[in-house]
Amino acid sequence: MSEKLLEIKNLKLYFNKGKKNEVRAVNDISFDIYKGETLGLVGESGCGKSTTGRTIIRLYNATDGEVLYKGENVHDTKNKSKTLEFNRTMQMIFQDPYASLNPRMKVNDIIAEGIDLHGLAKTKEERSKMVFDLLETVGLNRDHAGRYPHEFSGGQRQRIGIARALAVDPEFIIADEPISALDVSIQAQVVNLLKKLQREKGLTFLFIAHDLSMVKYISDRIGVMYYGRLVELTTSDELYRNPLHPYTKSLLSSIPFPDPEHERSRVRVAYDPDDHSYGENDEVKMREITPGHFVLCSEKEFNEMVNSSKATNQF
């Protein structure tokens, strides 16, 4: 695979650290994101997937751990211009297109805010030309620039959010449940748009979602989170074909597919974290079972999984 764009090393984010009500929202997570790929992050609400995304882009300051962007630790830098540059290359698309656009700003000011901040346009004409181009890129037209967010539908607003993220010509975009608030028919429009942009601009995505069928469709690799920890990480095909962690199995067995026959034959597996019965000396960490397929497990589980995957590979 191509070069690493982002390395996340032992990232931790604790809310109320050291207090009685400490919440380990992100608990020692490590993974890499390669240039040009889409990494999906899934898990149920409260598992820490959004917090992970927000910590990477530094909306939260990490409790511990490192985020390396092209090999540089971008969170610790004191250098202002470097921070500004980092903010430009990394952008975010938010879940709720109703809450993420300032209702009192016109669309062209919303989109151009980043352009102004980073001084990307030299003249007024250049600025509005950039805004018009962006609107066209996301499938809106230039007439929309003078309007306010409330004049748009949910799908259109999400396009404005995407245009805003693209305005500063980023390399890496964190999309935090960008389609969850949209209707099915509109979801497809937005997903196709994201895919097109990725092809044309060579973007890298971190795609956070809980709708697994869409995640599988858009992602090259998928990470599964449970209670602040990453429990499994592999390519999307492998995850669906050969899920190894019991939580992943349970999650996959609960997604309803739009196929009645598949639904009739579904067998649901429940996940109970106590089933692992880890001893005190068990070191539970991410281990590579087959090349590129990581699972959070103990030494003993690791051996079992390796053996069973060897057995399946023989057939």
Partner 1 sequence: MESILQVKNLNISFNTYAGEVKAIRGVNFDLKKGETLAIVGESGSGKSVTTKSIMQLLPKSNSEIKQGSEILFDGKNLVELSDKEMEKVRGKDISMIFQDPMTSLNPTMKIGKQIAEPLIKHQSFSRKQAMDRALELLKLVGLPQPETRIHQYPHQFSGGQRQRIVIAVALACNPKVLIADEPTTALDVTIQAQILDLMKNLQKKIDTSIIFITHDLGVVANVADRVAVMYGGKIVEVGTVDEIFYNPQHPYTWGLISSMPSIDADDDELFVIPGSPPDLLNPPKGDAFALRNRYAMTIDLEEEPPMFKVSDTHYAATWLLHPDAPEVEPPLAVQKRQHKFRGNNHTEGDVF
- Decide: 10 and 30 in contact? Cβ < 8 Å: yes
Residue of 42, 43, 44, 50 whose CA lies nearest to 15: 50
Q: Is 257 in the site for partner 1 (CB under 8 A)?
A: yes
Per-residue contact track with partner 1, 186 to 215, x per CB under 8 A? xxxx-xx--x--------------x-xxx-
Nearer to partner 1, 149 or 155 (CB): 155
Nearer to partner 1, 81 or 185 (CB): 185
Q: How far is the CB of 158 from partner 1 (least distance, A)?
A: 13
Q: How far apart are CA 207 and CA 173, in angstroms?
A: 8
- Decide: 243 and 271 in contact? Cβ < 8 Å: no
Chain centroid to Cα 61, Å, comes to: 18
Q: How far is the CB of 153 from partner 1 (least distance, A)?
A: 6
Q: How far is the CB of 152 from partner 1 (least distance, A)?
A: 10
Neighbours of 125 (CB within 10 A): 9
186: three-class secondary structure by DSSP: helix
Amino acid 165 reads: A
Q: How far is the CB of 154 from partner 1 (least distance, A)?
A: 8
Q: Is 151 in the site for partner 1 (CB under 8 A)?
A: no
Q: Residue 281: which residues within 8 A CB-CB, separation 6 or more?
A: none
Q: Is 77 in the site for partner 1 (CB under 8 A)?
A: no
> Which residues of the chain form contacts with partner 1 (CB under 8 A)?
44-45, 153, 155-156, 183-189, 191-192, 195, 210, 212-214, 216-217, 250-251, 253-260, 262-263, 266, 268, 271
